[in-house]
Structure 1
Amino acid sequence: MTNLKAAAFAAALVVGTAAACAAAWSQSPARVVEFESPLASPTPLQGYLRQPNSAGPSPAVVLLHSCNGNWARLDERWGRRIASWGYVALTVDSFGPRGIRNTCNSGAPVDLAFDAYRALSFLVRQPFVDPDRVAVLGFSQGAWLALASVEHGAIEKISRNKFRAAVAFYPKCLGSKGDMTVPTLILIGELDDWAPAQECRNMVEGRDDWGISRTHGQGVPVRLIVYPGAYHAFDAPGLERPIEFLGHRLGYDKSAADQAGDALREFLGDQIGEKAKAP
């Protein structure tokens, strides 16, 4: 290697190392936190918490996992990324405290519907969180729960603390009125056969097969993005080779995942980022 090439290689190594260090310094490591005292709840929730290294109270995002659980994997995939954008990220473990492995066949226990607000209640008590700028983000089953958390109804009404925005990756929209209390973003694949995109289109347009949707124009508008050629779990890199699971096709789609990441970052920035900060 010539001296010129060696110098160029060394410079590239220094720049690459500095970039990696900067990324590492942008947030603190994830740590497991308990939301409640065992005396306050028979199933006190826990989760992975990440904090950005920024001054002053930060906006925050509550992450809700799918019917497979995998909360640690969700934290690695999205919690780490969201914290690097300057948000506190709290990935909820809804199954461990309840002794559940998954609910893909059995369906979710009814009380899971309150987990998002239990996480929100924890976050608003933390001095490093801006209580007026917290969003909920869910995936599959967690996406349905995120939508339910911000719809006009009993779940949203009983909570003293409120979410500022909601994001749902490939939720089941059938049965949801779409009468949202806050800005909501839905990201879904056109070929999803577990959570059909058409059901979400119907919900957004104020109609569904059950006849329970809102009157057109009621509630806060919902934005729907449908990714052509994408299946359920299109953001999961472990599914580069598509699989069949319980009769449904799951597969990673890098293009859809990248676009969804950009859409998520833009949406969070608009709804709970610096633009949304109270004067």
Structure 2
Amino acid sequence: MCRSAKAAAFGAALLVGTAAACSPAQSQSSASVVEFESPLASPQPLQGYLRQPAGAGPSPAVVLLHGCNGNWGRLDERWGKPIASWGYVTLTVDSFGPRGIKNTCSSGAPIDLALDAYRALNFLVRQPFVDAARVAALGFSQGGWLALTSIERGAIEQNSQNKFRAAAAFYPNCTGFKGNMTVPTLILIGELDDWTLAQSCRKMVDGRDDWGISRNRGQGVPVRLIVYPEARHGFDVPGLQTPVEFLGHRLEYNKSAADQATAALREFLGEHIGGKAGAL
């Protein structure tokens, strides 16, 4: 995808985590804050919450990418913690704090956010407790768009020495993807999502696109799309049990969709990077 198309898609790739009611991950002793890079090597070294599973390593790992409101601590608590309990190292990235950003829901995000998943991957593969050949990207809304961007065939993926082995995206903006996906990919989205549209993801998977560009249908690694009929944006966030309107869009928790998505994600990770860990 060209630079201008990526910039436009960033402006529409959104949220979520805003209304989650759980406590920040600082209250959980099992999560530790790590800094990915030396301040001397990068003017904005990234940080994140790192969790390690019980048992001997090296273990497969998952990089978690937050939405346009940030809230990386809540994302770690909501998803990093349970995924670690499945037998994976998890690293929940804080893309905003080091950049001095509060949110990008209405302003759009810096283009270099597209590199954050690989910055996290490059950190993980250096750790002795991580199996460098089994790392997946997992994102939510804007983070879901970033996860897909990270494994789309193009300059970002091709210029990265280390590679992801799988990617999953919850309610991403699927508009504007032209390159084929390079690894197994899972997209989970609600039929009633009025912010990031299920129909756009259907078109992307089928090789159609409203922008006049498209992926090559039948080529590349297949993308699995799961659409939950009654679900909306943020369907996995328990704090949204009382629906809210945010920037003109309805956000709502859906327990049935969340439970099904959890099972689908666990099965997907177990199949593509988990091995014995995924079967726990």
What is aligned with 1:271? Answer: 272
CA distance in 2 between counterparts of 1:28 and 1:220 reads 39
Are 2:52 and 1:51 aligned?
yes
SS at 2:183 equivalent: coil
Q: For 1:194-233, what per-residue CA distance to the aligned partner results, in whole angstroms no more than 9, with x for missing partners?
A: 0000000000011111121122111100000000110001
Query: 2:236, 2:254 within 8 Å by CA — same for their partners in 1?
Result: yes
SS at 1:269 equivalent: helix
What is aligned with 1:159? Answer: 160
CA distance in 1 between counterparts of 2:63 and 2:244 reads 28
SS at 1:101 equivalent: coil
Q: For 1:167-215, what per-residue CA distance to the aligned partner results, in whole angstroms no more than 9, with x for missing partners?
A: 0000000111261000000000000010000000000011111121122
What is aligned with 1:125? Answer: 126
What is aligned with 1:67? Answer: 68
CA distance in 2 between counterparts of 1:235 and 1:198 reads 20
What is aligned with 2:207? Answer: 206
Tell me whether 108-117 or 169-178 shows the greater mean CA deviation: 169-178
SS at 1:130 equivalent: strand
What is aligned with 1:221? Answer: 222
Query: 2:87, 2:277 within 8 Å by CA — same for their partners in 1?
Result: no
What is aligned with 1:7? Answer: none
Query: 2:154, 2:179 within 8 Å by CA — same for their partners in 1?
Result: no
TM-score, reference length from structure 2: 0.88
What's the RMSD between the two structures over aligned residues?
A: 1.4
Kindly provide the amino acid, as one letter, of the partner of residue 93 in structure 2: V
Query: 1:137, 1:167 within 8 Å by CA — same for their partners in 2?
Result: yes
CA distance in 2 between counterparts of 1:56 and 1:237 reads 32
Query: 1:28, 1:52 within 8 Å by CA — same for their partners in 2?
Result: no
SS at 1:272 equivalent: helix
User: Comparing both chains, which one has the higher relative contact order based on Cα–Cα distances under 8 Å and sequence gaps of 6 or more?
Assistant: 2
Unaligned runs of 5+ residues in structure 2 are 1-27
Kindly provide the amino acid, as one letter, of the partner of residue 104 in structure 1: C
Q: Give 1:71 shift.
A: 0.1
SS at 2:202 equivalent: helix
* 1:183-194 mapped onto 2 (5 Å cutoff): 183-194=184-195
SS at 1:131 equivalent: strand
What is aligned with 1:108? Answer: 109
Query: 1:270, 1:276 within 8 Å by CA — same for their partners in 2?
Result: no
Kindly provide the amino acid, as one letter, of the partner of residue 249 in structure 2: H
Unaligned runs of 5+ residues in structure 1 are 1-26
- Alignment coverage as a number of residue pairs: 251
Tell me whether 206-215 or 88-97 shows the greater mean CA deviation: 206-215
Deviating runs (4+, > 4 A) in structure 1? none
Query: 1:166, 1:183 within 8 Å by CA — same for their partners in 2?
Result: yes
Q: Which has the larger radius of gyration?
A: 1
